[in-house]
Amino acid sequence: MRFRTSLMATTLLVLPGLASAQDLLPRFGGPGSGFYIAGGAGVNWLEDSDLTSQGGLRTALGAAGVGQSGNADFDTGWVGVLSLGYAFGNGLRAEIEGNYRENSINGINGFAGIAAPRTQSGDVTTWGVMANVFYDFDLGWNLGGVGIVPYIGGGIGYAVNDWDGVTISSPATGRTLRLDGDNGNFAWQAMVGAAFPIASVPGLAFTAEGRYFATLSDDIDATFVSATGATTTQRGAVEVDNGNWSVLVGLRYTFGAAPPPPPVAAPAPAAAPAPARTYLVFFDWDRANLTERARQIIAEAAQASTRVQTTRIEVAGHADRSGTPQYNQRLSERRAQAVAAELERQGVPRSAMVIQAFGESRPLVPTADGVREPQNRRVEIVLR
* Greater pLDDT, 2 or 279: 279
Range of the domain at 312: 277-383
CA distance 168 to 111: 9
CA distance 344 to 301: 11
In a domain, 269, yes or no: no
For the chain, where are the alpha helices, taking DSSP H only? 2-24, 55-63, 292-307, 325-345
Say whether both 226 and 124 belong to one domain: yes
Please tell me the pTM assigned to this model: 0.61
Say whether both 283 and 246 belong to one domain: no
**Residue 284 burial class via C-beta count within 10 angstroms: exposed 0-12, middle 13-18, buried 19 and up:** exposed
Say whether both 220 and 324 belong to one domain: no
Q: Which range has highest mean pLDDT (140-144, 307-311, 347-351)?
A: 347-351
Average pLDDT of every residue of the chain: 85
Q: Could you read off the pLDDT of 345-379 as tens digits, one per residue?
A: 998 888 888 999 999 999 989 988 888 999 999 99
pLDDT of 5 higher than 60: no
Say whether both 245 and 299 belong to one domain: no
In a domain, 265, yes or no: no
In a domain, 31, yes or no: yes
pLDDT of 92 higher than 50: yes
Q: Could you read off the pLDDT of 116-140 as tens digits, one per residue?
A: 888 889 999 999 999 999 999 988 7
Say whether both 205 and 349 belong to one domain: no
